[in-house]
Structure 1
Amino acid sequence: METPTQDMDVRWLYTQSQLKLREILPTNKTFDVIQISELVDPTDFISPNSVVLSVGIAFAETPDGLRDWAHRLADAGVIAIGFGSGLTFPQVPQALIDASLHLGLGLFEVPREIPFISITSSVRDEQTRRAGRLQQELLLEQERLNSIAISGFCETIPVEGRLVAERTTPLMEKIRSPAVQSDALQVFKSALAATVTWWISVNLLHSQLPFLAPWVALMTMQFTVYHTFISGIQTAIASVIGVGLSFVIGTYLDVNVWTFGLAMVIGLIGARVPKLRAEGIGIATTSIFLLASGFDDQQPLLYDRILEILLGVAVAIAINLIIFPPLRDQEANMVVGSLDRRMGEVLQKMADELAEKWNIDNADEWLEEINSINNDLEKAWHSVRFARESRRVNPRKIRIREGRPQPTDTSYESNLTRIDEGIAHLRHLARTLRDTPNIDSDWDPVFQQQWVYLMHDAGALLADPNQEIDPIRDRLSKLSSEMSEDQQLTSKKWPIYGSLLTSLFHLSALVDDAVATRKAEDKEHNS
């Protein structure tokens, strides 16, 4: 497990009295990353300038192997080691102390009652505090710069003011999101289509009903090119039927309250025709426009009204086809990715709370968040269907495909199916913890610490697949093997621990799939 920091001093850890860390070998170096590892050779997963936490499980039978282990860590750029006592070893082995002294590594002891997650959580909280302080300083600087700009002295803005511009506020992040940008672009295109058709109706066609073509254009404009085509056809047919109905009633029955009501009834019945259901209401609304605007003046202009309807449809389709035709793959990718991230955050939250004291209220909160993710899964399916439709009849699809590979329908569906399965396993895990009596006070300490680490690592990988974390499934298999050899576990504990291990094993398989998929997508994107 890896927790990024902001260039923190190892000595800061010793000032946190609640952690009860005991310094053995001092160091003045700063670290960038704090990691947990129980591998014999973790060098492939270790980052430079890191602190490594371990209880030495891999060296339970061969304590002298800690010398070579320390050398490998030093070669990988580790600056300090935190060793947990009271589990595998009653105290920090002398072999590790001698090797760390020889290599110039910092070394401290973590007492048994302090879970490693308490250390990583303290680091993360400090990081959040420092980031909040920096954000506050930036906000103050931004207010100062705004004051300077309002005063008309923009030339006095210092170089450090560029830092404010480079910081993206939550509001700007939301504005830059594909969904908001697509919506804003759609508003612009709808307004443009209505304005263009109105101008043509007034200045070129000299229409007596210049609102008809803009209204049809607004009815036609949709969020995808394909849907705009379909909507345009349906709107044109419905509106032409409405024009014809108005002229038939006005010509042969005269316009009065009874014939107006008859036109509405016929129009609304026509709106229920399956092929016109989406835009069929246009039959009734077009009849309202023509019958209520003075039918005697409109009667000779049947073909003009039809021309205006076709104008509105044609302009809407042309604008949506030419001006940045919407392609929703990026939005769908973000929605699918956010579900993975939220599942990972739930796993990490569960691990953090299980490492400390927790109660049923915590489990209820987990289940509430899991149900929220499940509800958003339905929205994700909608976004995927939307993305699939946006690629149909879209000229941008060809241009973008030449630049980079795009996700296929199969990849979307496989990702969402995987997430659906992950939600089921996550819900089962939370319910097992909630419904098992006294599990919070009857943990086996070795199982608790290692299983919670693995859960946190699985969540971290799911939230950010680019992290370098030891393989989860291999460590789970090792934990299962070690616990099966523990003769002190009662028959009551094994079914519970077996269920927890199985749920986490299934989740780790899905995590591996998610990591492989995201890395493959990144590779294709960068190629």
Structure 2
Amino acid sequence: MAAGRADAQESSKWFVRGRQWWGRVFAGSERQRVLLVTKSTLAATLAWIVSYYGLDAQSPAFAPFSAVMIMYVTVYQSVTQSLRYVGAVAAGVAVQAALGFLAGPDLLTFVLVAVIALSIGRSRVLGVQGPQVATAAFFAFSTYSSATDNMTRLSQLGQIVLLVLIGCAIGTAVNVTVAPPLRYRSAEHSVRILARALYDLTADIHPALRKGAPDSDTTARWRERANQTDGLIAQARAGLHTAKESIHYNPRRLLRRHRGHLTFQGYETVLNALERTLSQLASLTRSLDQWKQEENDYAYRSFLVRYAAFLEAISEVAYALSTLDEQELSRQTQNLDGLVRDAQTRRREVAEEAEAKTLPLADPARPYGALVIEATRLMEEVQYTNDTLQSWVET
């Protein structure tokens, strides 16, 4: 009885896990992986059919292997890497053919083939496909050594190159024609990464400023977090680069409507603005961390309250950008425009408070002057980001 319940619980657990996995697939988090596996399987199968049944090749596995090798996440990468892969294989086979026919299939020939193939493989032209020169040369040497006469050897070496060409052609064709990846979502996600970093930091700063001048441990933590955004920026730029690359040679770009959608230029403009905003915020945290508080700073607490309200408005803008969805871009930009106008109002209140309280803006030991300047610069970048999004929606 207990064993039956245990089996039922185990079955239920696997059912729940399966349902969660399919949920992620349909939600998109696993969709690209499943699609890539499916396309690779289709390409490998077609390449095997052509090489094994159509050509009756002696080593038909070269074709499906090649088809899978060049199945990249973008059509551009599939095209460029297939050309490099074919070039690498052809170079390796050519080295073996030249030395094999001149010196024969002995140990010294293999050593010379290895040295030359490995040297060619280090060429920058071949890029990541460089090691395939030596791999192809070694396979070619094995094929050459097992053949009985020169005509058979020449035929089999040529067949290796032909099979690689077939595999690359089929793999590229499948990647181009079967749901070719157009990674606008990667560009969108890049914007979200930086916007979320901006939101997280400003959302942490403004409540503390509203309570008064923060202590040195708190400002040091803010400064450290702001300095750690370089990795996020690099990640965001890599995502944007992949997204921009996905449009080359991709037939789906002709089906995309540009009205109401950001182009890659638009995403890059927004990303640049967010990067500059994070840089300004890092400068702001440095100013706070270098603050040497004095006894009469309490008189300026109302300024910090105003400044906290400004940073809170910036955090709301950042949160809106962190949820950017181009399918909802028209509605989101309307909401964003209102948030930006509110942030502009808060920035003006900061400037007015600084004038009303006659703050020591020129005192390098106090951050008031730097804070006013950083507020203006932050607002300029936020306004520029908003203007960019508004212009793309209206065109």
Q: Per-residue deviation at 1:435?
A: 0.9
Q: Does residue 254 of structure 1 match 2:110? A: no
Q: Would the alpha carbon gap of residues 401 and 489 (structure 1) be closer, same or farther in structure 2, given more than 3 Å must change? A: closer
Which of 170, 179, 182 in structure 1 is aligned with 2:32? 182
Q: Which residue of structure 2 aligns with residue 304 of structure 1?
A: 159
Which of 370, 376, 384 in structure 1 is aligned with 2:240? 384
Considering fraction of residues, name the structure with more helix. 2
Which of 392, 397, 407 in structure 1 is aligned with 2:253? 397
Write the mapping of 1:37-116 to structure 2, written as runs, cut at 5 A.
none
Q: Give the alignment's Cα RMSD to 1 decimal.
A: 3.4
Q: 2-side partners of 1:401 and 1:389: how far apart?
A: 18
Q: Which moved more, 1:507-516 or 1:462-471?
A: 462-471
Write the mapping of 1:468-483 to structure 2, written as runs, cut at 5 A.
468-469=338-339, 471-483=342-354
Q: Per-residue deviation at 1:150?
A: 4.1
Q: 1:461, 1:515 within 8 Å by CA — same for their partners in 2?
A: no
Q: 1:473, 1:509 within 8 Å by CA — same for their partners in 2?
A: no
Q: 1:433, 1:439 within 8 Å by CA — same for their partners in 2?
A: no
Q: Does residue 279 of structure 1 match 2:135? A: no
Which of 168, 177, 182 in structure 2 is aligned with 1:322? 177
Q: Per-residue deviation at 1:323?
A: 1.0
Q: 1:328, 1:386 within 8 Å by CA — same for their partners in 2?
A: yes
Q: 2:292, 2:366 within 8 Å by CA — same for their partners in 1?
A: no
Normalised TM-score (structure 1)? 0.61
Identify which of structures 1 and 2 has the higher relative contact order when contacts are C-alpha pairs closer than 8 Å and 6+ apart.
2
Q: 1:343, 1:373 within 8 Å by CA — same for their partners in 2?
A: no
Q: Per-residue deviation at 1:222?
A: 2.0
Q: Which residue of structure 2 aligns with residue 452 of structure 1?
A: 308
Q: 2:92, 2:136 within 8 Å by CA — same for their partners in 1?
A: yes
Q: Does residue 408 of structure 1 match 2:263? A: yes
Give unmatched runs, 5+ long, in structure 2: 1-7, 322-334
Q: Per-residue deviation at 1:390?
A: 1.1
Q: Does residue 346 of structure 1 match 2:217? A: no
Q: Would the alpha carbon gap of residues 488 and 366 (structure 1) be closer, same or farther in structure 2, given more than 3 Å must change? A: closer
Q: Would the alpha carbon gap of residues 415 and 207 (structure 1) be closer, same or farther in structure 2, given more than 3 Å must change? A: same
The amino acid that maps onto 1:394 is: N
Q: 1:341, 1:464 within 8 Å by CA — same for their partners in 2?
A: no
Q: 2:190, 2:239 within 8 Å by CA — same for their partners in 1?
A: yes
Q: 2:95, 2:113 within 8 Å by CA — same for their partners in 1?
A: yes
Structure exhibiting the larger radius of gyration computed from Cα positions: 1
Q: Per-residue deviation at 1:177?
A: 4.7
Which of 62, 84, 87 in structure 2 is aligned with 1:234? 84
Q: Which residue of structure 2 aligns with residue 266 of structure 1?
A: 116
What whole-Å deviation, never above 9, does each CA across 1:87-128 have from its counterpart, x for those lacking one?
Answer: xxxxxxxxxxxxxxxxxxxxxxxxxxxxxxxxxxxxxxxxxx
Match of 1:278, SS state, is helix
Match of 1:223, SS state, is coil
Q: Per-residue deviation at 1:175?
A: 7.8
Which of 46, 52, 56 in structure 2 is aligned with 1:196? 46
Q: Per-residue deviation at 1:174?
A: 9.1
Q: 2-side partners of 1:208 and 1:271: how far apart?
A: 26
Q: 1-side partners of 2:365 and 2:224: how far apart?
A: 28
Q: Per-residue deviation at 1:369?
A: 2.6
The amino acid that maps onto 1:481 is: E
Considering fraction of residues, name the structure with more strand. 1
Q: 2-side partners of 1:440 and 1:368: how far apart?
A: 27
Q: Would the alpha carbon gap of residues 493 and 279 (structure 1) be closer, same or farther in structure 2, given more than 3 Å must change? A: closer
Q: 2:70, 2:168 within 8 Å by CA — same for their partners in 1?
A: yes
What whole-Å deviation, never above 9, does each CA across 1:449-498 have from its counterpart, x for those lacking one?
Answer: 22111111111112216365452223322332343233687985996222
Q: Per-residue deviation at 1:306?
A: 2.5
Match of 2:129, SS state, is coil
Q: 2-side partners of 1:221 and 1:290: how far apart?
A: 24
Q: Which residue of structure 1 aligns with residue 289 of structure 2?
A: 434
Q: 1:374, 1:420 within 8 Å by CA — same for their partners in 2?
A: no
Q: 2-side partners of 1:337 and 1:177: how far apart?
A: 16
Q: Per-residue deviation at 1:335?
A: 1.3
Q: Would the alpha carbon gap of residues 204 and 171 (structure 1) be closer, same or farther in structure 2, given more than 3 Å must change? A: closer
The amino acid that maps onto 2:196 is: R
Q: Per-residue deviation at 1:149?
A: 9.1
Q: Which residue of structure 2 aligns with residue 510 of structure 1?
A: 381
Q: Per-residue deviation at 1:413?
A: 3.0
Q: 1:220, 1:231 within 8 Å by CA — same for their partners in 2?
A: yes
Q: 1-side partners of 2:88 and 2:101: how far apart?
A: 20
Q: Per-residue deviation at 1:519?
A: 4.8
Q: Would the alpha carbon gap of residues 233 and 325 (structure 1) be closer, same or farther in structure 2, given more than 3 Å must change? A: same
Q: 2-side partners of 1:362 and 1:171: how far apart?
A: 43
The amino acid that maps onto 2:128 is: A
Q: 1-side partners of 2:184 and 2:103: how far apart?
A: 53
Which of 497, 501, 506 in structure 1 is aligned with 2:372? 501
Q: 2-side partners of 1:197 and 1:490: how far apart?
A: 72
Q: 2-side partners of 1:512 and 1:431: how far apart?
A: 23
Q: 2-side partners of 1:463 and 1:210: how far apart?
A: 54
Q: Per-residue deviation at 1:406?
A: 4.6
Q: 1:197, 1:217 within 8 Å by CA — same for their partners in 2?
A: yes
Q: Per-residue deviation at 1:312?
A: 0.8
Give unmatched runs, 5+ long, in structure 1: 1-145, 155-163
